[in-house]
Amino acid sequence: MSETNGSLVLEVSGLRSGYHGVNVLKDIDLEVGNEVFSVLGANGAGKTTLLGTLARLIPLTAGAITFQGEDVTHIPAFETAARGMGYVPQERGVFPELTVLENLLVGGMIGERSAYERMREVFDLFPDLEALQGQLAGTLSGGESRMVACARALMQDPVLLLLDEPTAGLSPLYVDMFFEKIDEIHQTRGVSIILAEQNATKALEVADRVMVLSLGEAFAVMDAAELTTEKLKEGYRI
């Protein structure tokens, strides 16, 4: 889609954040509606910093974040999930000492609907998880672990899902499966998704719009279909 569908889920303006007083993100403006919005960029471009800042885990030094029409710039990280923001970090997305089932139930602690009903839905989406219910999450394979992290976030009934390189390091079949799931989560559940990715080809297949981050700056924001290889390379500085 070319516009953000009228009702914005997330609005970000003039966002700056980083580490130890050094800004990584420089004046990021962003508007996300009910869509799959992909954030592309080279290693170190600031994708994880952006998602972590949106999830309020990294303090911002300037700018404002509005989520579902409410100013969330200064809310603590623990409030974001209850407000409808699901976050799947690039690493450590599961509680390793808990079983798969317990991980899912942690996600299910938020919201009104029965955890059982939601668990049925995530098992429909990721059927492989049903057989793994009793296994300690710390003993799962990389792909299984990513599924649990994603399923745990979905158990929160999110309005917006922040996915940080969900398929990094996975085998090609897993990658294809995961991108189909991302599409399904958006299409059938109406969840808005911000997807940080290295895999530009796959990301552009599912994304409506895309931002190319380059050294912490929004080098380009456009419809996914309009992003050319030349533009992408320029943004990746290659």
Closer to ligand ATP by Cβ: residue 100 or 220: 220
Within 22-61, the residues that bind Mg ion by CB under 5 A are 47-48
Q: Which listed residue (10, 36, 45, 212) binds ligand ATP by CB under 6 A?
A: 45
Which residues, numbered 139-168, are part of the site for ligand ATP (CB under 6 A)? none
**Which residue among 41, 84, 86, 166 contacts ligand ATP (CB under 6 A)?**
41
Q: Does the protein bind ligand ATP through residue 46 (CB under 6 A)?
A: yes
* Residue 46 vs 84, nearer CB to ligand ATP: 46
Q: Return the range that interacts with Mg ion (CB under 5 A); candidates 16-24, 82-90, 101-109, 206-214.
A: 82-90
Binding mask 172-201 for ligand ATP (x = CB under 6 A): --------------------------x---
CB 212 within 8 A of CB 231: yes
49 binds ligand ATP (CB under 6 A): yes
Q: Which member of 2, 3, 14, 44 binds ligand ATP (CB under 6 A)?
A: 44
Size of the site for ligand ATP (CB under 6 A): 12
Nearer to ligand ATP, 7 or 43 (CB): 43
Nearer to Mg ion, 133 or 214 (CB): 214
131: left (phi over 0), alpha (psi -120 to 50) or beta: alpha
Report CA 47 to chain centroid distance, whole Å: 10
Residues contributing to the site for Mg ion (CB under 5 A): 47-48, 90
Residues contributing to the site for ligand ATP (CB under 6 A): 19, 24, 41, 43-49, 90, 198
